[in-house]
Structure 1
Amino acid sequence: MLQVLGSSWPLLLGIMLLMVGNGLQGTLLGIRGGIEGFSTLSMSFVMSAYFVGFLGGSRLTPELIRRVGHVRVFAALGSFISAILILYPTLANPYAWTIGRMMIGFCFCGVYVTAESWLNNAASNENRGKALSLYMIVQMFGIVAAQGLLTLGDPSGFILFVIPSVLVSISFAPILLSVNPTPAFATTKPMSLRRLYTISPLGCVGMFLLGGVYSAQFGMSAVYGSLAGLSIPQISAFVSSIYIGALLCQYPIGWLSDRMDRRKLILATAFFGGVASAVAFVYSGSFVMLLTTAFLIGGTSNPLYSLLLAYTNDFLEHDDMAAASGGMLFINGLGAIAGPLITGWMMDIYGPEGFFVLLTFLMLALAAYAAYRMTRRKSRGIAEQSTYTAVAPSATSVAVEVAIESAIDEDAHKDGQT
């Protein structure tokens, strides 16, 4: 791990700064929207637009890179991000914010694809898994650190929008000055959704539901905090708790994943997350309980992403895994687009606690479907399961394919030992 950090720290530092900028702008918009008097419905469209752009970026960025190269794509999209971040407080209008969020989602996807390509190129077969783990840790740390920056200024002013713009601009330096600008780049054509569903119904349905959970957390948690009357430090702590739980619970759940029937673990993890969301709905008046349940919600929902990928790979040949990952990401993206829209609708019906109503429904629905699938297919033997590799839900197709390559290498290593 230290060897990977020593050779790739400038790249990881740049990625962390990008994540700080992205994490801050998402939470900040949720708070500023309340200050500007935007309706919950308007904010749900604003937050959903990010995932529309992100999904579009995952489709178009590879072609942009093939045409003009990594450096130009990274610099151009990064410049757009910096500009849009500064324009948000100037154009305080839900329509302008929706367009801006769509553009910034597209641009962030593009810079993530580029940075992940460089990271993959810098890693070797022996340390690729460790590099991916560091990448996920850096992502989560960046989002958590961003929440602390909320207390440095007034959300109704300009300074908090300038900070992420500056951080994104600074992130160019360590990345562009430390990496080979022309790594090999290729993406795999996604597997058809019909075939993917036939292979793993639970993987597909779970990914769609989980897309809604993740986008609600990333896009609407600050909107919830603002509507619930939480202070800025409380909103910061609430959002941070989600991602701290996501980071700390990833590896224990991954350890269990390689040692038991994954459907049982999917069922238990989703059920536990649904119960935590229901408790948050009932006891939302207690801030300590709110932080505890936020930790548990993040600690169950985020590892489920990697768990569903690993479960789907259990039914695939190694040659089909990369193609299947593209389809899984697309399904997850569709769910992510719907998540904030449905969350906004639920919050209009139930008030701020509608945020937890949706999370409860989605997590328990995933648990129920996992239980149903256990009656339709025999379990795979533990020895036949592919290796679990931790991946953040915000990762692009490049990072997911790297994770699959790492899992395949680990499986081959285990087979060689037996």
Structure 2
Amino acid sequence: MFQIFSGIWALLIGIVFIMLGNGMHFTLIGLRGGIEGFSATDLAIVASGYFLGFLSAARLTPGMIRRVGHVRVFAALGSFMSAGLIAFPLFTDPILWTVLRVLVGFCMSGIYVTAESWLNASATNETRGKVLSAYMIAQTLGIIGAQGLLTLGDAATAGLFIGASILVSISFGPILLSVTPTPAADVTRPMPLRTLFKNSPLGTVGIFLLGTIYATQSGMGAVYGSQIGMSANEIALFIAMLFGGALLLQFPIGWLSDRMDRRSLILGCAVLGATFCVLGWINGPDIWMLMAAAFLAGGVTTPLYALLLAYTNDALDPADMPAASGGLVMIFGIGAILGPLAAGAAMESYGPQMFWLVLGVTFVGIGAYALYRMTQRAAAPIADSDSYLGVLPTASPVAVEAAGAWAVEQAEIEREADT
């Protein structure tokens, strides 16, 4: 185990610090936007800006890495991101915030591509699963830990934004002082969306809808909390619950994924997600019921992403998986751009509780389409399914490709062991 992490410890530490800063900024946007009097529509546009930048960087970063190397790209994007974070309290205008969010999203996407290509090249077939799992855990813990840091300051001042910027700046240290060799990066050209839909309609539609759910949770959760009168500490806890549930539910859903028809499990997760959203919708005044609803609704979102990826891979030849990964990330990004816009418009017109209703209806959409697809195609034999590996919705095509390759390898090993 020590040998596995000896070459990537610096990167993992750097990622934790970056996620602390990025996680703080996500919640701060909703908190400070409410203080500044921004409308739900304004903040929805600001939230979507992040995912627009995120999607646009996925294809550009590998070229930058090939030209100047991982370390320089990591440091440059981190520097721009740090500057963007510290600029938010200086320019409290929705249009300027949207521009800054596009910048931060671009930088984070590039950082993910850099980090994940580095991790993937540092891993072997035997260690790739452990390395990717450690990376995903580091990201999640960073986001959750960021919510605790928000309780140490006041969103009405620049202090918390400065703190987020400092954390991102600190992340350079372990990376730049490490002597770990840095490999080249490459990302396969995405599969055309029509081809991807033909191979896996449920995977394609499900990933798109889940993109709207994830972006609404992460981008509009703090806006919802602010509009219903939560305190800053309660909002931080609410966001932590949205991400914390995934740590609990990832393993049981992954275990079931390798033992039953994945379409049935996708349907079940979508129904659970919709049910928890209804609980949040009808129990708005009860703060602890809201926390429970956030924990469970957010908890099924991340495993559902990995489940949809695994289901899509089951319908593909291994040679097509890298291109499909790029296509799925693109579809997810498009959904993530549109999700906050839809939720923001609904919240602006009908009130903050529409946050839950929009999420619940989207979960119902995933479940209904999964049920429809079960009537159109026979279930694939469970023995022919690839293995499940938890992948966060924020992963770049590099990590999704790596997870797909690992899943194929593990499935082959298990089939050979059974014969």
TM-score higher than 0.5 here? Answer: yes
Is residue 346–residue 357 contact of structure 1 (8 Å, CA) maintained in 2?
no
What is the SS of the residue equivalent to 2:125? coil
Counterparts of 2:68 and 2:7, CA distance in 1: 27
Partner in structure 1 of residue 140 of structure 2: 140
Give me the whole-angstrom Cα distance separating, in 2, the residues matched to 1:147 and 1:207.
Answer: 27
SS of aligned partner of 1:59: coil
- The secondary structure found in structure 1 opposite 2:59 is helix
For 1:346 and 1:354, locate their aligned partners in 2 and report how far apart those are by CA, in whole Å: 6
* Residue in structure 1 matched with residue 316 of structure 2 by the alignment: 316
Q: Cα 1:378–1:125, aligned 2, differ >3 Å: closer, same or farther?
A: same
1:382 aligned residue: 382
Q: Deviations over 1:48-70 (max 9, x none)?
A: 00000000011211122222222
Query: Hey, what does 2:54 align to over in structure 1?
Result: 54
Give the corresponding residue for 1:289: 289
Secondary structure class of the residue paired with 2:60: helix
* Structure 1 runs (4+) greater than 4 angstroms displaced: none
TM-score normalised according to structure 1 size:
0.98
Whole-angstrom distance in 1 between the partners of 2:343 and 2:383:
40
Match in the other structure for 2:335: 335
| SS of the residue 2:183 aligns to | coil
For structure 1, list consecutive stretches of 5 or more residues without a partner in the other structure: none
- The answer to whether the 8 A contact 1:54-1:105 is kept is yes
Residue in 2 that maps onto 1:202: 202
Identity percentage of aligned residues: 54
Match of 2:20 in 1: 20
Give 1:119-158 correspondences, 5 Å limit: 119-158=119-158
Q: Is the 8 A contact 2:69 2:184 kept in 1?
A: no
Instruction: Output aligned runs, 1:75-90, within 5 Å.
Output: 75-90=75-90
Aligned to 1:99: 99
> How many Å separate the matches in 1 of 2:7 and 2:70?
20
Please tell me whether the aligned partners of residues 208 and 332 of structure 2 are also in contact (alpha carbons under 8 angstroms). Answer: yes
In the other structure, the counterpart of 2:407 is 407
Aligned to 2:394: 394
Matched, 1:268 2:250: no
| Equivalent residue number for residue 70 of structure 1 | 70
CA distance in 1, matches of 2:188, 2:179: 24
Q: How far apart, in 2, do the equivalents of 1:83 and 1:390 lie?
A: 32
Partners of 1:250 and 1:104 in 2: how far apart?
28
- The aligned amino acid for 1:242 is L
CA contact (8 A) 1:211 1:332 kept: yes
Letter in 2 for 1:398: V
Q: Give, in whole Å, the separation in 2 of the partners of 1:31 and 1:312.
A: 37
| Amino acid paired to 2:288 | V
Alignment of 1:298-317 (within 5 A): 298-317=298-317
Structure 1 SS opposite 2:187: coil
Deviations 1:218-238 (A, max 9, x none): 111001111110001110111
Query: Alpha-carbon deviation of 1:396?
Result: 0.7
Question: CA contact under 8 A between 1:47 and 1:101: conserved in structure 2?
Answer: yes
- Alignment partners' CA distance in 2, 1:164 and 1:335: 27
Q: Structure 2: how far apart are the matches of 1:53 and 1:322?
A: 22
The TM-score normalised by the length of structure 2 is 0.98
Say whether 1:180 aligns with 2:202: no
Provide the secondary structure at the position in 2 that maps to 1:63: helix
Distance 2:122 2:55 in 1: 26
CA distances 1:10-43 after superposition (whole Å, capped 9, x unpaired): 2211111111111100101110000011111111
Shift of 1:179: 5.2
| 1:181 CA drift (Å) | 4.9
Match of 1:236 in 2: 236
Q: Which letter maps to 2:163?
A: I
Q: CA deviation at 1:2?
A: 5.6
* RMSD (CA atoms): 1.2
Q: Which amino acid aligns with 1:12?
A: L
AA matched with 2:152: L
Matched with 1:350 is 350
1:30/1:43 contact within 8 Å kept: yes
Which secondary structure state, in structure 2, belongs to the residue aligned with residue 352 of structure 1? coil
In terms of mean alpha carbon deviation, does 120-129 or 251-260 score higher?
120-129
Summarize the Cα distance change of 1:179–1:244 in structure 2 as closer, same or farther, 3 Å threshold. Answer: farther
Q: Which residue of 2 aligns with 1:248?
A: 248
CA contact (8 A) 2:51 2:336 kept: yes
The residue type equivalent to 2:327 in the other structure is: G
Moved more, 404-413 or 385-394: 404-413
